[in-house]
Amino acid sequence: MNPADLLVWLVLLPVLLAALLFVAPEGWRTRLGQLGTLLCASLALLLAWQVLQHGPISVALGNWQPPLGIRLHADGLSALMLALTALVALPLAAHAPAWFVRHEAAQSRAGAFFWPLWMFQWAALNLLFLAGDLFNAYVGLELSGLAAVALVALGGQRAALEAALRYLLLALFGSMLYLLGVALLYGAGGVLDLTLLGAQLEADHASRAALLLITLGLLIKTALLPFHFWLPAAHANAPAPVSAILSGLVVKASFVLLLRIWFEIFHPIGLGGAGEVLGALGIAAIIWGSLQAMRQERIKLLVAWSTVAQLGYLFLIFALAVELAWAGSVLHALSHGLAKAALFLAAGNIVLALGHDQIHRLHGAAGKLPLTFFTVALAGVSLMGLPPSGGFAAKWLMLQAAIDLGRWPYVVAIIGGSLLAAGYLFPLLRHALAGTHDPRQREGERLLSRWLEFPPLLLATLALLLGLMALLPMSLLSGGMPVSLR
């Protein structure tokens, strides 16, 4: 296959699969979905390999050149995010069917709708990562938001539906702001292509207003404090495989778009003061999210609040605009994607096996679910940024940037965030390890099937290994650093 075709198929194939899965008989959906996952993931990894070997790939759909045509573009950043999505999707394809079968078996048909919606979501994510112009990105954003809302609603209970509704309203509001900004830009210059826009943008009021609107819209979608309020309920009440997708992947997509818009288009008209604001909000998110996570009594809420905190790290790049921080930020997105997906799947397993997700009732649970709690611990290591995980490598890079720039409050925030993360993750493990052996439990009895336990373990292990192989993603990034970074 021609590398340029790969880009097209990466968007097209999941859409086709989604459509096919909607009409396929329910009995076939799992196998079909798993097969489709295998295909899409191979395409994504193949593309990442191509970009690593030959550099960025660009394709104009139907040979219409910009400014009229639609352009798909894969650089190092896209390749990494596509690969992340594929790496999360593969274990998920093994875990999700087993989870939906066990979860209130046959009571709802949630499992049947999971596959088409998830494929839809995947298509939207791929489109976002590959979009070469702002309008396509809008389409991706909107589709991703709608699919995400529908996925949350699969939870079925009242809480899930309420969270989904709230999520829907905010997602719509966010994309509306974004679209408004895009319209302003289009009205002023008549182009939406990222590269062309970057070249011809003028520092006038219209551009500033557009940047403000677009940024606000994307901040809502990425749930940066103070726009985070919709996230904990939505991520915590969704079915576990959905939570993994939302926390691990979906919030990263709008963030990546924001990165591109700031550093590839708008850098001439001043990141300065506004970048500082975003950085400061990032710090605030780290602190507030962690403190809230510490106060939670339910595992999934704790994990969801941890996402609010961890997303804060991503925004430090706006204040520390250097290449090291860029690499650190992307690496953090990757390692958080893997670790958080692992943690949500593991949390889902705990709920399945124990029938509750109250943290203080976890007494001795590690004895019953050793593998699952081992997964929690491994994922926790990455979230806390302890070596040798991907989170550690990311923090190392961000710290280097902050120290190099002499930004000591950021140094304190980066390290302090690790300690705060320890503050909410260790109690979870402590409760689970506490207590003495329960003689009623038979040795070796498996409360969960292998299909449930191994996929999250694999994800957590990948997050850990990322720290030992950080050079690979960094070499993908190194070619395509935005010129605006110092």
Cα 143 versus chain centre, distance? 16
CA distance 45 to 48: 5
370 touches other proteins (CB under 8 A): yes
Q: Residue 221 has which token pair?
A: 């979608």
Single residue of 430, 446, 450, 486 touching other proteins by CB under 8 A: 430
Binding status of residue 462 toward other proteins by CB under 8 A: no
Give the nearest distance from C-beta 289 to other proteins in angstroms: 19
Task: Single out the residue of 108, 367, 449, 454 in contact with other proteins (rule: CB under 8 A).
Answer: 367
Stretch that binds other proteins, among 53-61, 71-79, 209-217, 388-396 (CB under 8 A): 388-396
Q: Check binding of 468 to other proteins (CB under 8 A).
A: yes
d(CA 481, CA 326): 8
- Minimum CB–partner distance for residue 460 and other proteins (Å): 14
Using rule CB under 8 A, residue 472 touches other proteins: no
User: Does residue 480 touch other proteins according to CB under 8 A?
Assistant: no
Tell me whether residue 35 or residue 469 sits nearer to other proteins (CB atom). 469
Query: Which residue lies nearer to other proteins by CB, 16 or 433?
Result: 433
Shortest Cβ 453–other proteins spacing (Å): 12
- Binding residues for other proteins, how many (CB under 8 A)? 38
> Considering the rule CB under 8 A, would residue 186 count as an interface residue with other proteins?
no
Residue 187 in the binding site for other proteins (CB under 8 A) = no
**Rounded least distance, CB 4 to other proteins, Å:** 31
Of 184 and 384, the one with the shorter C-beta distance to other proteins is 384
**Binding range to other proteins, per CB under 8 A, among 14-22, 144-152, 284-292, 395-403:** 395-403
Q: Is 411 in the site for other proteins (CB under 8 A)?
A: yes
374 near other proteins (CB under 8 A)? yes
- Name the segment binding other proteins (CB under 8 A); options: 16-24, 103-111, 167-175, 389-397: 389-397
Residue from 387, 409, 446, 479 binding other proteins (CB under 8 A): 387
Q: Which is nearer to other proteins, 139 or 354 (CB)?
A: 354
Is residue 426 involved in binding other proteins (CB under 8 A)? yes
Report the residue from 415, 447, 465, 485 that binds other proteins according to the rule CB under 8 A. Answer: 415
The reply to whether 443 sits near other proteins by the rule CB under 8 A is: yes
Instruction: Decide if residue 434 touches other proteins (CB under 8 A).
Output: yes
Is 393 near other proteins (CB under 8 A)?
yes
Residue with Cβ nearer other proteins (202 or 404): 404
Our finding on whether 63 is near other proteins (CB under 8 A) is no
Instruction: Return the HEC string of the chain.
Output: CCHHHHHHHHHHHHHHHHHHHHHCCHHHHHHHHHHHHHHHHHHHHHHHHHHHHHCCEEEEHHHCCCCCCCEEEECHHHHHHHHHHHHHHHHHHHHHHHHHHHCCCCCCCHHHHHHHHHHHHHHHHHHHHHECEHHHHHHHHHHHHHHHHHHHHCCCCHHHHHHHHHHHHHHHHHHHHHHHHHHHHHHHHCCCEHHHHHHHCCCCHHHHHHHHHHHHHHHHHHCCCCCCCCHHHHHHHCCHHHHHHHHHHHHHHHHHHHHHHHHHHCHHHCCHHHHHHHHHHHHHHHHHHHHHHHHCCEHHHHHHHHHHHHHHHHHHHHCCCCHHHHHHHHHHHHHHHHHHHHHHHHHHHHHHHHCCCEHHHCCCHHHHCHHHHHHHHHHHHHHCCCCCCHHHHHHHHHHHHHHHCCCHHHHHHHHHHHHHHHHHHHHHHHHHHCCCCCCCCCCCCCCCCHHHHHHHHHHHHHHHHHHHCCHHHHHHHHCCCCCCCC
Q: Shortest distance, CB of residue 331 to other proteins, whole angstroms?
A: 9
Between 155 and 390, CB nearer to other proteins: 390
Structure tokens that stand for 85 in this block: 């999505």
Contacts of 8 (CB under 8 A, 6+ apart): 59, 61, 72
- Report the interface residues with other proteins, using CB under 8 A: 364, 366-367, 370, 374, 381, 386-388, 392-393, 395-397, 399-400, 403-404, 411, 415-416, 418-419, 422, 426, 430, 433-437, 443-444, 467-468, 470-471, 474
